[in-house]
Structure 1
Amino acid sequence: MDEYKQGSNRGAPVFIALITLLTLVVLRAPHFEFPKIAPKIVPTARPVAPSVDLWLSTQDRRLRLDRQPEIEMKPRGTEPVDVVIDVQKKFQTMTGFGAAMTDSSAWLLQNRLSGLQRSELLHEMYGPPPNLNLTMMRLTIGASDFSLKPYTLDDVPFGQDDPGLTHFNVTPNLRNVIPTVREALSINPSLLIVASSWTAPAWMKTNQNVIGGELLEQYEDAYASYLVKYVDAYRNYGIPIYALTMQNEPSYVPITYPGMEMSASTRARVIGQYLGPKLARRKQKTRILEWDHNWNQPEQPLSVLSDPDAAKYIDGVAWHCYEGSQYAQGRVHRAYPDKDTYITECSGGDWASAANGELLWFSRNLLVTGIRQWARGVIYWNLALDENHGPHFGGCALCKGVILINSKTGEVSRNDEYYALAHFSKFVLPGAVRVESTATEKEHLDNVAFQNEADGSIVLVMVNSNKEARRVSVAESQSRFDYTMPAESVATFVWNPSQAGAWMGRAYWASP
């Protein structure tokens, strides 16, 4: 070892001389530069910036719920924004979206589609996302204008009556409606069904006819029993009824299809004295929804709710969209905040005002504004109609369904209403809560926001009714994003605030 050290020391003067000579050469070289050595980068645990998912539809039908590139979320900063979302301020809990399984819709599904076609279509309608995810349904108690013929569930020969309801039966529904509803329930067992009567049996009425007339006071108890028998009969077929409305459009007397006028005082009396107590005695709860008619007469449900005997049995108010303003819903809600709000009927159609499509109207007026005015659920009218707006008995000759089933070929096409509903139903899940978002309708950029219960994700639906593109900015907590909405379009934005919060909390120290 010592010899090795001595050998090494003997070479030291030579080594030093070589280093000195090399240094002199380098320093005298006119263009010499020391080589640049790239710094060594040590990977850090920088998180990926969160993003906003986006689905878009346009009025011209060029886009129909098409997925768009993700939008990057960034720090909120101090710049003003158009829409501020506050998830700490919560409003109503959502039950969902749906359409009516009228006699006409059920008939088309059973008679114009094969079993496989019907199964596939019902899975598309009622299956979970990415399907349409309809979670509500409306049924008619007896015939409506969208039936193949008029009938009730207790018809007897003219001149006879049946106060004991011994002839009550649901036979008219056994071939089409009941099997179709059961199939839908097999896909979504949590489906919430609202049932509405268009008329009492003719023998209960002033004109002895299912079309027009009023309910005779002597049969008010029997009529309440008629509705309860319907609930029990359908439950026996495995179809639970979530809520009843006692009379469809009680302030309108049709002349071409089943209907019946029923004053506010009559409704209050029947609910308070008969229907309410009968339902309350049952183990399975069935809710009672008052009114079931247009926005233009809020004094009607206000009158019924002011009756304490009736009000204690009423769970909410049902609305239709054909006249008046959605703000009537808010007026009634403010007067009776413990009563729920639902939109139970609204139909599109091939009328003049729909010449340029109905995507914007249904997205903005029915869904965004209706929900901002406290609707927990929104149910469209017919789920399916054919190319001739039917089949139907009297009534609306131009109505459209959510889907169109060609009566000759069975081909299915999806109307604007389908996509308007889809912007909500695919993303806003039952149990979601509407949360605060800046109102922007004055800018024709209507919006409504929700937070899903399951994963905390935020859903924002925005409608640009302007004929030009509009740049919008959205902020939630300490993050924001910006997007230019195309002219006349509907957008659904979805993001998870917990991921955004985690990213925002580390964004400033995570730079390399």
Structure 2
Amino acid sequence: MTQLKLAIISNESGFFQPLNTSQTQTTKPTIQINITESFQTMDGFGASFTDSAAYLLDQVLSNEKRDQVMKELFDAEDGIRLSLIRNPMGASDYARTIYSYNDLEENEVDPEQKYFSIAHDEESIVPLSQQALEINPQLKFMASPWSAPGWMKTTGSMKGGQLLEEFYASYALYFVKYVQAYQEKGIEIFAVTPQNEALYEPFHYPSMLMKAPEQVVFVRDYLKPAFEKAGLSTKIFGYDHNWDRIDYPLELLDNAYDAFDGIAWHWYGGRPISQTRVANIFPDKEIHFTEGSGGEWIPAFEPAFSNLMRTGINILRNGSQSFILWNMALDEKNGPTVPGFGKSTCRGLVTVNQATKDYELTLDYYGLGHFSKYLQDKAVRIDSQSDVEGILTVAFLNPDGSVVAVVFNDNEAAEECRVNLGDDQSIAFTLEAKTAATLLLTV
């Protein structure tokens, strides 16, 4: 018999409120969940400890408030159980300075990576990552570079340009040393991507153009062999860019199938169906969603919360094993950003006010929490179907046998909803317009 353990909702009126439900007899459920039809095994949900986010959480907040917000982020009982962190390898656009792990003077080179060091990360990024791991021991870590060190590139700078082929082997060693350095800190790197947003080359923050043929050669002939030689099991996910260019990941897998473990996606262009289109051709490769930011371009609350819930459900229904937003924290001015970046419009999961030394949790925190809070490690997505237009849903089976269903009413009016797990018992409730609900069920 289906039993409801808990149900919470979030909308413009409030977050994580109790949802009134009832158990009724029904033969025509609005939402049918089938635990016998399974899909991807989840690796996790999370955000990024950018340099900016780590600075705000670790150095602006008091120790007491830092510990409090870390629990709200990573603890299963007192927080939303984030389970996957994507750390930038070096500076991104959200950093106080431009830095890599091997910065040299002009005209100097270090192909053997003798001067490689993660000293910068030891200030706040590593300690916060270690603290997060203590709170959630199942936590996984990914890493993505925005740029190679400037001396390896055509521009001689971390802004723009391409990786010089003469430094492909050295850059592969750079990755190896990064993974090993984090291992020494007790942090296993689950996966890397060769380049963040490889087709985007801005010149006002760290970036590096890496076209598909270049990524094929770098990963197939240098990075994958370097990992194997070092005995590293770290996975490699290619592309790490928007849904609107499926030709790039297809070219990677056509020409270097064995070198890539999967494909990583962002949401700043195209639609999540692209994940499935590539997976239909290469079904054995993993799908990961590695970056999507909320921001002022979608006004809060509505439609920003709706966009997060709608898109998140579609990302997961299109096979992704992860759902990672962008900055873990930003300040009241949407920063800090690298010098010369200009106006920032992004929003973090947490807003840290540098003037008051206090923080608040944003709508992105609560939206992501609807997916992450009740999912256990190795939860599996199962089939869920809605027969009401505008009622979006995704469901998961936890290892302990419980079922988590996330439901979002994307309509302009309240809807009567019923969830059926296949027996003669249904959970019935009313879901207001633009409202998300998470139900924890046992069978």
TM-score w.r.t. the length of structure 1 is: 0.83
Is contact 2:41-2:378 (8 Å) kept?
A: yes
Match in the other structure for 1:43: none
Q: For 2:98, which of 150, 156, 161 is the aligned residue?
A: 150
Q: Which structure 2 residue ranges, 5 or more long, are not aligned?
A: none
Q: Give the C-alpha shift of residue 481 in structure 1.
A: 2.7
Q: Distance in 2 between matches of 1:183 and 1:411?
A: 20
Match in the other structure for 1:65: 16
SS at match of 1:443: coil
Q: Residue type of the partner of 2:378?
A: G
Describe how 1:403-482 pairs up with structure 2 within 5 A. 403-439=350-386, 443-454=389-400, 456-478=401-423, 479-482=425-428
Q: Distance in 2 between matches of 1:112 and 1:155?
A: 27
Match in the other structure for 2:146: 198
Match in the other structure for 1:507: none
Match in the other structure for 1:508: none
Length, aligned pairs only? 440
Describe how 1:36-185 pairs up with structure 2 within 5 A. 50-51=3-4, 53-58=6-11, 60=12, 62-69=13-20, 71-77=21-27, 80-185=28-133
Q: Distance in 1 between matches of 2:299 and 2:3?
A: 41
Q: Give the C-alpha shift of residue 258 in structure 1.
A: 0.4
Match in the other structure for 1:256: 204
Q: Distance in 1 between matches of 2:342 and 2:210?
A: 19
Q: Distance in 1 between matches of 2:374 and 2:58?
A: 29
Change (3 A) 1:496 1:355: closer
Change (3 A) 1:333 1:360: same
- Deviation above 4 Å: which 4+ runs of structure 1? 352-355
SS at match of 1:171: coil
Q: Residue type of the partner of 1:64?
A: F
Is contact 1:360-1:488 (8 Å) kept?
A: yes
After superposition, give the CA deviation of every residue in 1:288-342 in whole Å (9 maximum; x if it has no partner). Answer: 01111111111101110111xx321211111111100000001111111111111
Q: Give the C-alpha shift of residue 72 in structure 1.
A: 2.7
Match in the other structure for 2:175: 227
Q: Residue type of the partner of 2:376?
A: L
Determine which structure has the larger strand proportion and give its number. Answer: 2
> Is the counterpart of residue 385 in structure 1 residue 341 in structure 2?
no
Q: Distance in 2 between matches of 1:188 and 1:341?
A: 23
Q: Distance in 2 between matches of 1:52 and 1:396?
A: 45
RMSD: 1.7
Q: Give the C-alpha shift of residue 357 in structure 1.
A: 4.8
SS at match of 1:280: helix
Describe how 1:191-340 pairs up with structure 2 within 5 A. 191-307=139-255, 310-340=256-286
Q: Give the C-alpha shift of residue 73 in structure 1.
A: 2.3
Change (3 A) 1:159 1:50: closer
SS at match of 1:288: strand
After superposition, give the CA deviation of every residue in 1:131-165 in whole Å (9 maximum; x if it has no partner). Answer: 21001101011100001011111111111211111
Is contact 1:112-1:408 (8 Å) kept?
A: no
Q: Distance in 2 between matches of 1:50 and 1:438?
A: 19
Q: Residue type of the partner of 1:57?
A: S
Q: Distance in 2 between matches of 1:402 and 1:352?
A: 15
Is contact 1:55-1:493 (8 Å) kept?
A: yes
Q: For 2:313, which of 344, 354, 368 is the aligned residue?
A: 368
Change (3 A) 1:328 1:356: same
Is contact 2:29-2:419 (8 Å) kept?
A: yes
After superposition, give the CA deviation of every residue in 1:10-30 in whole Å (9 maximum; x if it has no partner). Answer: xxxxxxxxxxxxxxxxxxxxx
Is contact 1:458-1:494 (8 Å) kept?
A: yes
Between the two proteins, what is the percent identity of the paired residues? Answer: 35
Q: Distance in 1 between matches of 2:357 and 2:368?
A: 23
Is contact 1:206-1:213 (8 Å) kept?
A: yes
Match in the other structure for 2:431: 485
Q: Residue type of the partner of 2:272?
A: Q
Q: Distance in 2 between matches of 1:324 and 1:147?
A: 27
> Is the counterpart of residue 344 in structure 1 residue 290 in structure 2?
yes
Match in the other structure for 2:344: 397
Q: Residue type of the partner of 2:9?
A: L
Q: Distance in 2 between matches of 1:384 and 1:477?
A: 41
After superposition, give the CA deviation of every residue in 1:385-414 in whole Å (9 maximum; x if it has no partner). Answer: 000101111276110100101111221111
Is contact 1:96-1:429 (8 Å) kept?
A: no
Q: Distance in 1 between matches of 2:402 and 2:43?
A: 17
Q: Residue type of the partner of 1:460?
A: A
Is contact 2:24-2:428 (8 Å) kept?
A: no
Is contact 1:257-1:395 (8 Å) kept?
A: no
Q: Distance in 1 between matches of 2:346 and 2:243?
A: 19
Q: Distance in 2 between matches of 1:282 and 1:190?
A: 24
Q: Which structure 1 residue ranges, 5 or more long, are not aligned?
A: 1-46, 498-512
Is contact 2:298-2:304 (8 Å) kept?
A: no
Q: Residue type of the partner of 2:306?
A: L
Is contact 1:145-1:396 (8 Å) kept?
A: no
Q: Give the C-alpha shift of residue 471 in structure 1.
A: 1.3
